[in-house]
Structure 1
C-alpha cells in the first residue's frame, strides 16, 4: 500500500515510490527505489522536498503506522500532483538569450546531476528506466523553446571531469532544437531529446582510465571506446520504457553517410533520420568542448569545419537544418567586424544567418578594450558586418564567456 509521509519520517529500508514536487527540486535521477544509504536521506533533507510517497508492501512502514491507500488511488493523486507541478512551472514564452541564461544554467546543473545518477545506476547493473528521462527532457525542451541558443551554448562550457555528463545534456538540447527546425511533431521532438540524453549511456561500461585519459588514445584504447554504442544498446535493452528511437540513436550515432562509421558501417539511407541527427549533434558538442588533450574549437570555426565534412560524414539536409538551428555564428563566436572592432555573438536575429546580435568590446586599431555595446547586424542602416571569424586562443580574453553569457564564473 502507498502512503504519503513527511521527509522527517524517512528511514533506511523504506521503498520510496515518488517525490512530491518537481524533479528540479530533488537530487535523484529516479524516484522508485529502496533507501539503503543514509546519505540518500541527507540529500533529501537538503533539498526543498517536504513529502514523499512510500510503498509499504515493498519496504518498511513508518513506526506509528498511519493510513494507507490503494495503489490506484495513490497513482491518481501522484499524477494530479505532477500535473499541477507541470502547470505551475511550464513556461515556453520566447525570451532573449540574456533573459534565459540564468534559468538555463540551473537546468544544466540539475540535468547534469540527473545524468550522473543515471550513469551510476547503469554502472551498478541496475535497469535504466527511460521514463525517468521525460521530466529532464521537458525542462530542457522548454528552455530551447524560450530561446534556442541559451542552454545549448551554456552546455558547451564543461570541464574535463563532467564532459561525459554535460555532453549528454548538450546533445539532448541540440536534438530538440534540430527536431523543431526539421519540422518534427511534438512526440518525435520529445523522443529526439530522450535519445540525445541517453545516446552515450554505453560510456558507463567503459574503463574509467580509458574514458578519462588526459591524452590521445592509443589504437587499442580507441577500439575499446568504439564499443560504447553497442554497450549502451545492450544496457538499454535491459531497461524499461525504452523507445526504439533511443535504441537506434544509441547504437548508430557514430555511423557516417559514406559508410566509414561504426559499429555497423551503415551508409546513406541505411541510417535513420534520428541517428543522422544524433551524429551531427554529437560531433558539434565534442569539437567545441574543452577536453583533457585539446581545447575546444570556436563555435563558428566548428561549423565551418563540419561543413567541409558533410559529403562523407553528415547528411546534407540534416546538417543544413542544424546550421539554421544554431546559426553560422553560434552564440559565443568571436568575430571581427568590418570596422576593425572585435565582438562576440550573443544572439541569433532570425533574419539572416550571417547577421546575428553581437557585443562589441575591443578595438584592434587602438588595441584597447572599449565599453561593451550591443549591435544588431540585421537592422537596416547598420554599416557593420562580420569580416572574419577569430580564434579566441590568439586573443586570450579571460572574460569572453562572461561577455556573451552575463554569468560570472561561467
Structure 2
C-alpha cells in the first residue's frame, strides 16, 4: 500500500492572491500615468511671421572679360628699332610701344616739304600776272585770251600747292606711324616681336595685345525658363522691378565675396538655340586688378522686390504624403493647425510665401514631431538668426522668463 503526500492548499492560495494584488496595483498605476500624460501639453518653439517686401536675387554663373581689347599692329613697314615697354605692365593710351626705323619716312617727309615750298613759290608770280593783265585788258592792250591763260596758270599753281600740302601731310602721318603707340590704356601682354624684326603694314600677326581691366566685364548666363517666370511675376504684380540701376554682387571661384559691387549693363535680345540660355553683362570696378579675364565667378543679380510677402523658416516646412509643403501654425488659443503652403523660392534659410498667411501668425519651428493637427501646445516664442538659421529666444519671451524667475526668488 503506497502513501500519497498532499501539500497544503493555503500556501498556493496565498501566492495567487499576492500576484492578483500586484497586477491590480500595476494597472492602477499605469492608468494614472496615462491620465497624467494626457493632461500635459507638448512644448514647441514658434516664430511670429510679419508681412514684408522681400528683395529677390538670382545667383548665376559667369566669366570675366576685359572691357576693352586692342591688338597692336604696325601701319607702316620697317625694322623694329626699339621696344619701350615691359611685358605684363600697365600702359597708357598714347605711350610709344615700338619704334620703327624712320630714315626712309623722314626722307619722304623732307621731299614733300621741298615740293610744297616749290609749289608755293609759283603762286605769287602767277597772281601778279593776272592782276596786271586785268588792268591792261580794260585798256585793250592785252587780249581777253591772254587774261584767261594767266588765270588758268594761277589756278594750276594753287592746285599744285594743295597737292603738295596733302603729300606733306601723308609723309608726316607715315613718319609718325614709325612710333607705334598704345591705342588704349590697360595691361599689355607679351610682345610677339623683338628689336630687329621686320614688320609690314597691317600685318595679320599682332605685335602685342592690351586688355583694359578697370573696369572689367562679367558675362553671365541665365536660363530662359527663369527669365520667363520672372517676366510673368512682373506682369501679374507679384514682383516689382527695382529700376534701371540694378546692383550686382560677385563671388569668386574660391567662395570669397568680391568687395566692390557692380552694375548691370545689358542683356542680349536672343536665346541660345543649343543651351536655351540668355547672356547678360555686368561691369565691375577693378582697381587692384584682382579680377583677370577668363576667371569663373558667380554673380548675384537683383531681380526685383516681392511686396506683401512672408519668409517662412525652412525648418518649419515639411512635406505631406502628396509632396506638398506644409507647416504647423499656432492660433491665439494655443492650438496647432496644419496648413498647405505655396512656396515660390528659397531665400537664405527661408521659403518665400506670397499668400495663405496673415500678419502676426505663429509657425512652429521646433517640436513638430511631437504634435498633431488640432492639439493644444505650450508655445515658446523664438526668433531665427538670418545668417546661421539658429534659434534665439525672442526679447519679449526673455523678459517674461526673467520676470518669472525674479518672482520665484522673492
Band the TM-score falls in, shorter-chain normalisation: under 0.3
Q: TM-score, normalised by structure 2?
A: 0.20
Looking at CA atoms only, which structure, 1 or 2, has the larger radius of gyration? 2
Higher helix share: 1
Q: TM-score, normalised by structure 1?
A: 0.20
